[in-house]
Amino acid sequence: MPGRPAPPHTAPTPEPGAEARQRAPHDTGLGSMGRDNKGLNCIADGADAGCTLWDNLALHGAVLLFGLAGLFGKWLPLHPVLIVFGRVFVAALAFALWLHWGKGLAWRGLLPWRSQTHRGALLLCGGLLALHWVAFFQSIQVSTVSIGLLGYATASLFTALLEPLLSRERFSMRTVLAAGVTLGGVSLIVPHWQLGDASLQGLAWGVAAGASFAVLTLINRRLRQNMDAVRLAYYQDATAALVLLPFLTLLPMALSVRELGLLLVLGLLCTAFAHGLFAHALGRVRAGTAVVTSTLEPVYGIALAWLLLEEQPAARTLAGGALILCAVALVTLTPGKRAPPGPR
């Protein structure tokens, strides 16, 4: 009869991982990755029945590319503001072309300021994204790739600390313990606590990058409820480019062909393409796999810097980094919580 509930035994059994497939496209965190444009929400614990080896390789490939982005701070002898502007401008252009030709979105719909509902939040996020990446590349330029990446890795801890304040919840013992472990790791990385020490300056900029990314992630969690991840990534990259545009008048703009080529690779390969891989993988792999793999960004970045730049980290940097990554794992894998920021 119409309106009569189906008998219990006739109710279809949900396919394992079905809930993950339904939610994952909205939880990719592309607007921040990214070191984003990379915030990552937990997906259902069940594995997607359609997950293949290529899906896992796509996830690791995306995280590897996010780690590779840090090396451009050494390859490009440019001011961090100019590096970040080139990155977000190229990435925004790539996202715009994809939204128009791949998704059929009208060109007028690509104007960031046309989103009246979230105009203020998008402007704030664009500014935070610009600040995050400028601080990140500044950290690498004044110190090393490893110190910059490990400083950024504290974003997970900042998210775990800020989220209870916003939701008016009590801090968990895991978070308090992770904070203590992180402080221990930071104290190991810096050999001399003097203002002129390059390691201290680099770590300070890296931590600033992590803190700004944590705030960006928390705002993005609200925005993603009403906006798909690719469009959010485009809006934030485009807004970040607009925020940085006035500062370009203060910088020398003479770029070589090599520098232009590197900026294109940074924006297309390490930002737009990497975000696409990451979004694809999040809809296919297990939640635990996605969360743990995303924390490997500093590991991949440090290994690539060692291989491509011959930048061998000091023993105390590796020891401190191990403590920081342990703290990241402690807060990231907390049961029942949304995962802190993933890769950008």
pLDDT at site 116:
58
Q: At what angle do helices 53-69 and 297-308 cross, to 10 degrees?
A: 60
What amino acid is encoded at 103 in this protein? K
Rounded to whole angstroms, how far apart are CA atoms 36 and 45?
23
Residue 91: name the closest of 227, 245, 234, 281 by CA: 234
pLDDT at site 14:
46
Q: Say what the pTM is.
A: 0.79
Rounded to whole angstroms, how far apart are CA atoms 147 and 341?
19
For the chain, which residues score pLDDT lower than 50?
1-49, 337, 339-343
Distances in whole angstroms, Cα of residue 99 to Cα of each of 17, 126, 171, 228: 28, 19, 41, 11
pLDDT at site 114:
53
pLDDT at site 32:
43
pLDDT at site 108:
60
pLDDT at site 121:
80
Residue 156: name the closest of 233, 88, 83, 209 by CA: 209
Q: Which neighbouring-strand residues pair with 37? A: 32, 33
